[in-house]
Chain A
């Protein structure tokens, strides 16, 4: 009965709400924003957040408060962010594991695709494959040959079950069929300790430059596209020709799904600008990361690809939480 009026009214209403939306984006943010980091303070996990938070403050004129919510391999904090009101005042900064690995290892209370909206990727880390100097090999190819000749002899450490440090070497195992034994640790620190002590021989992480430069570890390969300027003599995994070996470690910003598009777009623009800022490059370098500003669509594609890749590795390597 009111159809005529509503038909006329609808475009007006749409226009009005669109104006309201745009206006909301204009006034956003008008109070402090909560930046959830699902890792404890001071570890590698929240270094990126601590670097970009002051810049976000400068750009948007409101305080960005870092709220550390660690636990359950980043699942607790990620879930909290996913369930927060989608008004742009709660954002999430996290490395990839919470989205691309955890949901496939255990049932998480959030869906990484449906519950979270990608804003931008900030940095990407190069995973460096290293071996102890005691292993008589100089390149990845030699290592693979050595491992094939000595099955079950070499140990590779990881920062825990299901972490990217484990998946990196599992990918190599699947691609080449070598038999190396997985030794999990509680975080990378203890693993590095045991590598230096000679208890394990292989490892993979992004923060190993100081050890490589000091000669305590030998770099065999790096992940990513194109040679890394920090290690120009080390080939990439792609160059070596290992198919399916693509460990992906990135840090990105998210908002809960359902956040208004205008606010999301504003955040994206700001974050991308920060990530591309040359001044930030030095700071990211110190923590072993490369700035990798990627907008929402490209970022979403990377996430989907990673979920697929990691899922396959988890399946083929029979990685379970027992």
Chain B
């Protein structure tokens, strides 16, 4: 029997909440629960996770017969991966290789679409941002960061 889902987004988010709630209940029980009058560190997370799980379940169930939303959702995964990679690269580089290289990584990865079509634009953006950041944060505000690899 094929189940037709009315509102797909709400169904998916409902399932996600259910999963998070379940995880929270299992992991939260690791900590001492205590009682309602003398709560341990695990009590509150456990109860909140249960609430999330219930709401997720309710959301998923009601979404089955809901009216479908008007907009079509497209999942562009490449921007997601590239931008996240850029941010992570910043974290990896800023202390090991200095601010300049970290910024360069963010710009290059963030502008992945244009690296071949408009490389000069990317370069100019990168240089401007580097100069502004180093000028403002390291020289202007005296943050104890390295600009270049030491």
A and B touch in the complex (CB under 8 A): yes
| Contacts from A to B (Cβ < 8 Å) | 34, 65-67, 322
Nearest Cβ on chain A to B139's Cβ, whole angstroms? 13
Q: 8 Å CB contacts to A: which residues of B60-110?
A: none
Q: Does B142 contact A (CB under 8 A)?
A: yes
Q: Which residues of A contact B144 (CB under 8 A)?
A: 34, 65-67
**CB-based contact B142/A322 at 8 Å:** no
Q: Which residues of A contact B40 (CB under 8 A)?
A: 322
| A interface majority secondary structure | strand
Q: How many residues of B contact A (CB 8 A)?
A: 6
* Whole-angstrom CA separation of A322 from B32 in the bound complex: 8
Q: Which residues of B contact A322 (CB under 8 A)?
A: 31-32, 40-41
CB within 8 Å for A65 and B142 given contacts A322-B40, A322-B41: yes
Task: How many A-B residue pairs have C-beta atoms within 8 angstroms? Tell me.
Answer: 9
Residue in A closest to B42 when the chains form the complex, CB atoms: A322
* Whole-angstrom CA separation of A34 from B146 in the bound complex: 12
* Whole-angstrom CA separation of A65 from B142 in the bound complex: 8
Q: 8 Å CB contacts to A: which residues of B134-149?
A: 142, 144
Nearest Cβ on chain B to A33's Cβ, whole angstroms? 10
* Given A322-B31, A322-B32, 7 new contacts (CB under 8 A): A34-B144, A65-B142, A65-B144, A66-B144, A67-B144, A322-B40, A322-B41
* Whole-angstrom CA separation of A322 from B33 in the bound complex: 11
* Whole-angstrom CA separation of A34 from B142 in the bound complex: 12
Closest 7 A-B residue pairs measured CB to CB?
A67-B144, A65-B144, A322-B41, A34-B144, A322-B32, A65-B142, A322-B31
- Can you identify 9 A-B contacts, CB atoms within 8 angstroms? A34-B144, A65-B142, A65-B144, A66-B144, A67-B144, A322-B31, A322-B32, A322-B40, A322-B41
* Whole-angstrom CA separation of A101 from B26 in the bound complex: 32
Nearest Cβ on chain A to B77's Cβ, whole angstroms? 34
Residue in A closest to B34 when the chains form the complex, CB atoms: A322
Q: Which residues of B contact A65 (CB under 8 A)?
A: 142, 144
Nearest Cβ on chain B to A320's Cβ, whole angstroms? 11
Nearest Cβ on chain B to A123's Cβ, whole angstroms? 24
Q: Which residues of B contact A66 (CB under 8 A)?
A: 144
* Whole-angstrom CA separation of A67 from B146 in the bound complex: 12
* Whole-angstrom CA separation of A34 from B150 in the bound complex: 15
Interface mask (B122-143 → A, CB under 8 Å = 1, otherwise 0): 0000000000000000000010
Nearest Cβ on chain B to A183's Cβ, whole angstroms? 14
Nearest Cβ on chain A to B82's Cβ, whole angstroms? 30
Nearest Cβ on chain A to B4's Cβ, whole angstroms? 49
Q: Which residues of B contact A67 (CB under 8 A)?
A: 144
Residue in A closest to B31 when the chains form the complex, CB atoms: A322
Interface mask (B31-47 → A, CB under 8 Å = 1, otherwise 0): 11000000011000000
Residue in A closest to B145 when the chains form the complex, CB atoms: A67
Q: Which residues of A contact B31 (CB under 8 A)?
A: 322
* Whole-angstrom CA separation of A139 from B41 in the bound complex: 37
* Whole-angstrom CA separation of A322 from B41 in the bound complex: 8
Which residue, B31, B41, B144, has most C-beta atoms of chain A within 10 A?
A: B144
Residue in B closest to A35 when the chains form the complex, CB atoms: B144
Q: 8 Å CB contacts to A: which residues of B1-40?
A: 31-32, 40
Nearest Cβ on chain A to B53's Cβ, whole angstroms? 25
Q: Which residues of A contact B32 (CB under 8 A)?
A: 322
* Whole-angstrom CA separation of A65 from B31 in the bound complex: 41
* Whole-angstrom CA separation of A65 from B144 in the bound complex: 7
Residue in A closest to B32 when the chains form the complex, CB atoms: A322
Nearest Cβ on chain B to A214's Cβ, whole angstroms? 36
* Whole-angstrom CA separation of A166 from B40 in the bound complex: 19
Q: Which residues of A contact B41 (CB under 8 A)?
A: 322
* Whole-angstrom CA separation of A322 from B39 in the bound complex: 12
Nearest Cβ on chain B to A85's Cβ, whole angstroms? 11
Nearest Cβ on chain A to B81's Cβ, whole angstroms? 30
